[in-house]
Structure 1
Amino acid sequence: MNTSYHPFKSEKAREEYLNFYDKHAAQWPVCSTNKYIETSYGRTFVRISGPKDKPPLVLLPGDTENSLSWIPQIADLSKHYRTYALDNIYDNGRSIYNRSLKSSKDFTRWLNELFNTLHLENNITLIGFSYGGWLTSMYALARPKKLNKVVLISPSSTVIQPRIRYLIIAIIAHFFPNHFFSKLMVYWERKCLVKQGEKGRAKADHMIEELVLAGKCFKKRKTVIPTILSDDDLQKLKIPLLYLIGEKEVLYNANKVVKRLNTIAPQIRTVIIPNASHDITHSQATLVNKIILDFLQKN
């Protein structure tokens, strides 16, 4: 892991991916400061925006994504918060891991070290999408006193088991990250975004291009499989928590998710977003941003 191009397959692969990444980063709509934070798991890339005197808000991306996935949210959130958008230490982006992460406890330790090094006090707002949503739930269970409020956006597993069809498509796309299978997954997973016309398809096509390039450039890593929280764990989540899900979510049935949460953990606020699938932060960005900010700013 000490090679100059780790976690990439080669120096050429590193250069190719980061050139693509940096072109995308030029679309970041607000001023930002970029930092590498050292942890025992490696160097974490953090994109920091917003006023220094505002409360901290940390953003965790989905699987195969990175800090740039929050472009649709960052301008609105950074008006009211000091935002910290992360490249997951164990995923695609500029972060560089130096040892494998084997469980949710590793991710929790990584985040805790990161927050402490950044001198974030016990008033952090933590928002996670998809895989990052599951990681957010794990951190909320392990370190509730560090958090002020939490937002889970279409988190992987967490509340109910994903559909078998989704798992099959995701596994195929993971092991065969070519254009055909990547497009099959993205166009199904982000179907509401694709239906929004040329601009929506362009965003989806960019996601496909990045997936294919990441599969070509990065070394393979073993994935920590997201888990389902028990009734007891869901009831332990006493921090103010908002759960957002698209009405046409493909990972699982939105109504079943909301029913379980309302039955087992009614303290968790649930909102179903219309005309959205697993593209909720892109296809319905304006609505999602408003709901999140309303929730965060409510006493």
Structure 2
Amino acid sequence: MLLPGDTETSLSWFPVIEPLSKNFRTYAIDHVFDNGRSVYSKEMSRPTDFIDWMDEVFDLLGLEQTNLVAYSYGAWQATLYGLAHPDRIERLVLLAPSATVLSPGPVMRIRAILYYFLPFRPVARNYFYWYGAEAVKDSKLRARVDEMVEEDLLSRRCFKKRKFVPPTCLTDAQWDSLQVPTLFLVGENDRTYSAEHAVDRLHRVAPTVDARVASNTDHYITMSNPDWVVRNVLGFLRENRIAERANVRAGNDTA
């Protein structure tokens, strides 16, 4: 299952969806409370609401257990779900999660506040360009970022303004209690927080989490470095399949 970031839809997985789906049945879903065609009956007001919603999605799709790959704001929600229902997650992949590992710095907070409360093209463009500093160096990717700006402005005009639930930073105890095999991927130039400091913290409080950093990569990790993302995600998920086959063979040998 693929879970997008804030203000994004399942279409945001376009750069990586084909290779990720080649050997896996893949569900790319929209956030029920965000942009897209979903209509929510209850407003999200606290972190536990996301856990309840994802539980409903799993039940509706008939998924007893699955691999969960999530990006940015969605990665924070996925981590909360992994903590609450580890029995329903085989493997968890966190792509540049919002907060979760480290709280955003003051520069990030100020820029986000300006972007949120000033829905004007120059403000939005400045914010997206700053967040995707590596992506905009490429003319084709810069054109895609420009499209993201226009889509963002359009969504603000068309959708009802919703309450934003700020992502939280997990405590040491929460990270230590995470039972799901987890892969953490982040770009070295992510503006949300220092990638180096995030990896250092995970090594200290959650040494079982596989943390990897992509060079010359910003927060738009699936867009600025899709091949690296696909290679690392599939390698991590295939490890699980290899382990399952080994367990099956071991069981047959014992029988």
With the shorter chain as reference, the TM-score category is over 0.9
Alignment correspondent of 2:166 = 225
CA contact (8 A) 1:134 1:156 kept: yes
Number of the residue aligned with 1:248: 189
Query: Of 95, 98, 115, which aligns to 2:41?
Result: 98
Q: What's 1:239 paired with?
A: 180
Unpaired runs of 5+ residues, structure 1, are 1-57
Q: Which position in structure 2 is the counterpart of 1:152?
A: 94
Q: Output the CA distance in 1 between the equivalents of 2:71 and 2:163.
A: 20
**Cα root mean square deviation, aligned:** 0.8
Higher strand share: 1
Task: Please give the TM-score of this superposition, normalised by the length of structure 1.
Answer: 0.79
- What CA distance in whole angstroms lies between the structure 2 residues aligned with 1:175 and 1:83? 35
Deviation beyond 2 Å, 4+ runs, structure 1 = none
Q: 206, 226, 230: which one pairs with 1:289? A: 230
SS in 2 for 1:191: coil
> What residue number does 1:210 align with?
151
Structure 2 distance, partners of 1:113, 1:208, is 32
Aligned to 2:214: 273
Note if contact 1:238-1:267 (Cα within 8 Å) is conserved in structure 2: no
SS in 2 for 1:84: coil
Unaligned runs of 5+ in 2: 244-255
Displacement of 1:266? 0.4
Shift in Å, 1:160:
0.8
Determine which of 6, 10, 16 is the counterpart of 1:73.
Answer: 16
Pick 1 or 2: higher relative contact order, CA cutoff 8 A, min separation 6: 2
For the residues of structure 1 that align with 2:32 and 2:64, how far apart are their CA atoms?
21
Partner Cα separation in structure 2 for residue 127 and residue 168 of structure 1: 29
Count of aligned positions: 240
Deviation at 1:222, TM superposition (A): 0.7
What is the Cα deviation at residue 178 of structure 1?
A: 1.6
For 2:119 and 2:185, locate their aligned partners in 1 and report how far apart those are by CA, in whole Å: 28
Residues 169-225 of structure 1: CA distance to partner in whole angstroms, max 9, x if unpaired? 1111112222111101100001100012x2011111111111111111111111111
Matched residue of 1:82: which SS? coil
Identity %: 42
SS at match of 2:93: strand
Q: Secondary structure at the match of 1:85?
A: coil
Aligned AA (1:182): A
**Whole-Å separation in 2 of the counterparts to 1:150 and 1:120:** 15
Give, as a single letter, the amino acid of the residue that structure 2 aligns with 1:103: R
Could you tell me how far 1:247 is from its partner in structure 2? 0.4
* 1:83 match: secondary structure: coil
